[in-house]
Amino acid sequence: MKDIGAATKPFPIPAICLTSRRAARLAGVSLLLLASALYLLTLDDGLRVGELLGGDLITHQYAQVLGRPANAPGYPVYSMLGWLWFRIGRAALPLFNPTQVLSLFSTLWALMALAVLYLVLLEITHVWPLAWLTAGFYAVTYFFWYYAVTTEQYASAVFQTLLFVLWAFRWEKARADRYLRYSALNAGFALSNLVSVLFIVPGLLLFYLIQEPGLLRRRRLLVQAAVLALLPLTSYFFVYWAGRAHPDWSGIAWRGGGWFWQFLSTEQGRSELTWSFGGAPLDYPWLMLAELTPGVCLAGLAGVMLLGKPRALLIYPTLVIYLLFSYIDRFGNWYQVIMPMYPLVLLGFAGLLDALLRRLPAARRTSALLLLSAGMIALIALRTAANYPHVDQSRRPDDDAVPLAHALLKDAPAYGALIYGTTEEMAAVQYLTVVWGERADITPANTHQARQWLAGGDPRPLYVTVQAVALFQQEVGQPAAWWSAGAHLVEALRQPRWELTQPPDIPAGCAPVPGLELIGLDVLPADPGFLHLALYWRARRPLPDMTVSVRPLQADAYLWLGGTLAAQDHPPAWNAYPFSRWRPGEVVRDDYIIGLPAGAQVDGLEVLLYQPGDAGELGKCRLSLPRQS
């Protein structure tokens, strides 16, 4: 059987234009349009709180939003292009939220990778349906699809790897030096992005030298290639500049310029890299078999031999290096190479199908191609159905990061405020304020900043989340007073408040216990099925600790929700500010969020106080409210 590839003659089925260049171009456009539609349908549009706490995904998002290097060694080209894309995307795509715009950067790389894969396949077979179906199959493989819709740089690695292959195959036909220069420049960009792309270089050297051994004696060409390879490395000036401007970004202690070399050498990453084997799961080889299917995978590995000796010397060593690298003992390495491994195997698969078709009599080739196409379409449909539920990142109910931040900021903290909360809450607030650009005046406060505030070193108002009050009191200290600020926040005060800045919506003027006056309340907007009340108290004398129970009424009767009294009980300010700490004359706000039964028409309110641990009431008062549906 003859080698296929650069010397292959056009496939002789003129009746349906299977070798038409115009038809091939139109098919390529349709491939990208269909892939775009699929990726947009499954595009990541939100994150889980856990994803904000670390990892490459959130690191790349902040790098692109802030124009800063990503984790070491900084991925300067990817980060700078991502920064530019984010600004263009935010202006040009108003219907997409910021997470979607960031995810679309990966989609762009994936579509470019698919386009190059299709072009490479057309270098192997002039029968464009084979190229189209093979590229379409790769488009729905799990890892490629997943990283086409989420914020990661792996799709760019596939693009760069396939560019190496495309330039090599075209050089093989034309022997034009420009393709060698393109490859040198691409190598430089790999050094400025994901360095594991360069694992293909040994195979490339074999490919070129076996066909032109004198290449290494062409000094002018070698100098040109070296200059082109070094040119993209100037992007690391961006890493140095950003590190000097923001030394906190590097994650390495600032010691003159030495931090820069430590950062580029990925000191932290090398500490994780033990150079022992066992990094990837033991079932790693079977993962590729399961995804590509055993038939496609084995046919692809066998078909590489049919591409010709030079191309086989390019692909086989690269696959071996990928496999060895995957098992080096550092978690995550195998993700860097499994995505470009798939298309290299699929090149052999397409070559094998092309060779089989050419062995058939001309009269039988069309029917054979239709049969192969039907099988490939079925395979694509099966992979799509199997991967879609796992890959789909749109409208996920567990994407809780932005809703959590929205809930906290719904309490409308004052302009320029600090917010102190749990690690998860602060990660969510930072994501919303920095990446989404909402309430950019708000600053998530760490323990050091909170201590500075408590010592009087920061004039900004400080809010603490309800979940973090106990942590604040333990790690930071106790402010002079607390003021409930809504459903999720309490405000820390350096001095108690003695007067209300504005009168409450509903004056009360009742004293449920001696020395304590309920001076009014507000009925605030709430989610459907809930009643949100803000009570305002004034202490007339020192008070014992008590629990407040707020109970909505309808026609002077209690409401019941699922057999339980519709009410909410807690000490003042979400348990942050017990009565015993109040000073005479002090005014305190106290919020309650109460679930209501369907169809309830609240027209009254009972406020009852009792001693903690004692069911007996100490006092109560009842108020009329405007009817609340």
Q: Which two tokens stand for residue 393?
A: 């990142």
Does residue 322 lie in a domain region?
Answer: yes
Q: Both 38 and 187 in a single domain?
A: yes
With respect to residue 119, please indicate whether it lies within any of the assigned structural domains: yes
Say yes or no: 51 and 110 in one domain: yes
In this structure, the answer to whether residues 430 and 451 fall within a common structural domain is yes
The domain boundary, picked from 339, 363, 388, lies at: 388
Distance CA 147, CA 45 (A): 14
Q: pLDDT at residue 137 above 60?
A: yes
Assess whether 134 and 34 both reside in one domain. Answer: yes
* Among the listed residues 593, 600, 604, 514, the one whose alpha carbon sits nearest the alpha carbon of residue 556: 604
Q: Decide which of 355, 388, 421 is a domain's last residue.
A: 388
Residue 6 lies in a domain: no
The reply to whether 271 falls in a domain is no
Residues 6+ apart with CB under 8 A from 497: 481, 483, 586, 587, 588
Continuous segment of H or E residues that includes residue 2: none
Query: pLDDT per residue over 29-69, tens digit each?
Result: 999 999 999 999 999 999 999 999 988 889 899 999 998 88
Rounded to an integer, what distance in angstroms lies between the CA atom of residue 156 and that of residue 494?
52
Radius of gyration of the chain (CA): 33
Between CA 116 and CA 59 the distance in angstroms is: 28
Is there a domain that residue 269 lies in? no
pLDDT digit string (tens) for 490-512?
Answer: 999 999 999 998 899 999 989 99
Q: Are residues 174 and 136 in the same domain?
A: yes
Distances in Å between the Cα of 306 and the Cα atoms of 8, 124, 354 are 12, 10, 10
Domain boundary among 343, 363, 388: 388
Report pTM.
0.89
Question: Is pLDDT of 221 > 80?
Answer: yes
The string of DSSP letters for 216-251 reads GG-HHHHHHHHHHHHGGGGGHHHHHHHHHH-GGGTS
Q: What is the mean pLDDT of residues 278-307?
A: 82
Same domain, 186 and 309: yes
Is 197 within a domain?
yes
Shared domain for 375 and 411, answered yes or no, is no
232 within some domain = yes
Picking from 482, 336, 387, 351, the residue whose alpha carbon sits closest to that of residue 140 is 387
Structure tokens at 12: 């002789």
- Give me the domain span that covers residue 430: 401-493
Same domain, 318 and 460: no
Instruction: Please give the pLDDT value at position 8.
Output: 46
Pairwise CA distance, residues 32 & 113, whole Å: 10
Q: Are residues 170 and 315 in the same domain?
A: yes
How large a percentage of the chain has pLDDT more than 90? 76
Q: What is the largest CA-CA distance in the chain?
A: 104
The residue ranking higher by pLDDT, 312 or 324, is 312
What size, in residues, is the chain? 629
CATH number of domain containing 514: 2.60.40
pLDDT score of 12: 47
Same domain, 533 and 595: yes
- Alpha-carbon distance of 170 to 154, in angstroms, equals 25
pLDDT in tens, 380-423: 999 999 999 999 999 999 999 999 999 999 999 999 999 999 99
Whether 106 and 145 share a structural domain: yes
Residues 379 and 334 in one domain: yes
- What's the total number of domains in the chain? 3
Residue 270 included in any domain: no
Question: What string of DSSP letters covers 282-335?
Answer: TTHHHHHHHHH-HHHHHHHHHHGGGG-HHHHHHHHHHHHHHHHHHTBSSTTHHH
The strand pair at 547-554 and 530-539 is best described as unpaired
What token pair was written down for 413?
């903290």
Nearest to 420 by CA among 483, 491, 481: 491
